[in-house]
């Protein structure tokens, strides 16, 4: 028996099933965030179940009285600086690797990508030794250098995939008109690959924003701690201040939303176009 391809009942069932699946998936993703947001306005005790009735701002007042805003500022300074440095280095490195053919190019590219094979945890000890001997423990510069080094390899890989879609004739035409390579990269290539840069910057920023292990190893001064280490102080040996933890988590999420929600469209196009060659 032949099945009608344009059967309205079958189409309605299919569309309804897809809509239900998306709703369930959305609830699955948003439920924890809603629970954290709701809990940040409640009088939570050491138990997540026992709460006092009513809503309150005490959790937010408490964390900012304890200097939590310093952790937010430190995270912004370190992560934004590292992201800018990584994207700048990656832009010129990706341009050179995608446009020029030279001896050892594959070795250079393989070495850059090889850095992605090492989990951060096995590098903490040698990194700490290097910075301790250099007198750079308790320094934001140390964190910026580490984050830049960890962000750059994947950023190069992403931008190379994007640059291969741009014809070399654009470069050649600009050079014939008297433009330098620096001018070609900054004034011709960069505006074209801007969505890819947004995607790379978003990845780098989020990766460093939530990083905890290196901060724990390199920073002991309270005035230099970032958000992940600042949140850890609310986890005591005997009890946990869950209200402060949830309020701090909400505050930690806001900068990423404010920075990258307006760039969501460019982020999606940058990831999809960079993935195709």
Tens digits of per-residue pLDDT, 88-124?
Answer: 999 999 888 888 887 877 888 777 777 677 777 788 8
Q: At what angle are helices 194-209 and 68-99 packed, to 10 degrees?
A: 140
Checking if the pLDDT of 275 tops 60, the result is: no
The pLDDT value recorded for residue 274 is: 45
- Per residue in 61-91, pLDDT (tens digit) is 888 888 888 999 999 999 999 999 999 999 9
Q: What distance in Å separates the CA atoms of residue 16 and residue 9, rounded to the nearest whole number?
A: 10
The pLDDT value recorded for residue 267 is: 55
The pLDDT value recorded for residue 49 is: 55
Half-sphere exposure of 252 (CA within 13 A, CB side): 28
Strands (DSSP E) contained in the chain are 42-44, 51-55
Q: What distance in Å separates the CA atoms of residue 242 and residue 16, rounded to the nearest whole number?
A: 39
Q: Which residues contact 105 (CB under 8 A, 6 or more apart)?
A: 97
Tell me yes or no: is domain 66-274 CATH 1.10.3720.10: yes
Q: In the structure encoding, which two tokens stand for residue 268, read together?
A: 């999606």
Residue 277 pLDDT class (50, 70, 90 cuts)? very low
The pLDDT value recorded for residue 148 is: 92
- Per residue in 205-231, pLDDT (tens digit) is 888 898 888 898 899 888 888 998 888
Checking if the pLDDT of 43 tops 60, the result is: yes
Strand partners of residue 55? 42
Pairing of the two strands 51-55 and 42-44: antiparallel
Average pLDDT over residues 126-140: 90
The pLDDT value recorded for residue 263 is: 64
The pLDDT value recorded for residue 80 is: 92
Rg (CA), the chain: 24
Q: Which of 226, 232, 196 is nearest to 211 (CA)?
A: 226
Checking if the pLDDT of 28 tops 90, the result is: no
Q: Identify which has the larger pLDDT, 237 or 252.
A: 252
- Per residue in 161-196, pLDDT (tens digit) is 888 888 888 888 888 888 888 888 888 888 888 888
The pLDDT value recorded for residue 6 is: 61
Report the residue count for the chain: 277
- For residue 38, the Cα-to-chain-centroid distance in whole angstroms is 25
The segment(s) of the chain belonging to CATH 1.10.3720.10 are 66-274
């Amino acid at each position: 028996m032949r099945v009608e391809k344009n059967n309205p009942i079958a189409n309605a069932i299919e569309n309804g099933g897809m809509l239900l699946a998306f709703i369930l998936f959305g609830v699955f993703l948003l439920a924890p965030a809603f629970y954290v947001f709701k809990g940040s306005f409640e009088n939570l005790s050491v138990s997540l179940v026992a709460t006092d009735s009513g809503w309150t701002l005490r959790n937010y007042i408490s964390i900012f009285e304890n200097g939590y805003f310093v952790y937010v500022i430190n995270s912004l300074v370190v992560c934004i600086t590292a992201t800018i440095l990584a994207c700048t280095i990656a832009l010129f490195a990706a341009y050179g690797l995608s446009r020029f053919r030279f001896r050892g190019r594959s070795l250079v590219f393989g070495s850059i990508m090889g850095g992605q094979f090492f989990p951060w945890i096995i590098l903490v000890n040698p990194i700490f030794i290097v910075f301790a001997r250099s007198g750079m423990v308790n320094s934001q510069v140390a964190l910026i250098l580490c984050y830049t080094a960890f962000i750059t390899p994947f950023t190069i890989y992403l931008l190379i995939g994007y640059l291969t879609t741009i014809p070399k004739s654009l470069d050649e035409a600009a050079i014939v008109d008297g433009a330098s390579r620096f001018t070609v990269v900054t004034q011709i290539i960069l505006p074209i690959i801007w969505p890819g840069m947004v995607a790379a910057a978003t990845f780098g920023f989020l990766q460093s924003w939530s990083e905890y292990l290196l901060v724990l190893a390199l920073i002991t001064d309270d005035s230099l701690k970032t958000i992940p280490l600042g949140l850890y102080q609310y986890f005591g040996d005997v009890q946990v201040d869950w209200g402060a933890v949830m309020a701090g988590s909400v505050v930690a999420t806001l900068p990423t939303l404010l920075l990258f929600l307006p760039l969501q469209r460019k982020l999606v196009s940058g990831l999809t176009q960079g993935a195709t060659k």
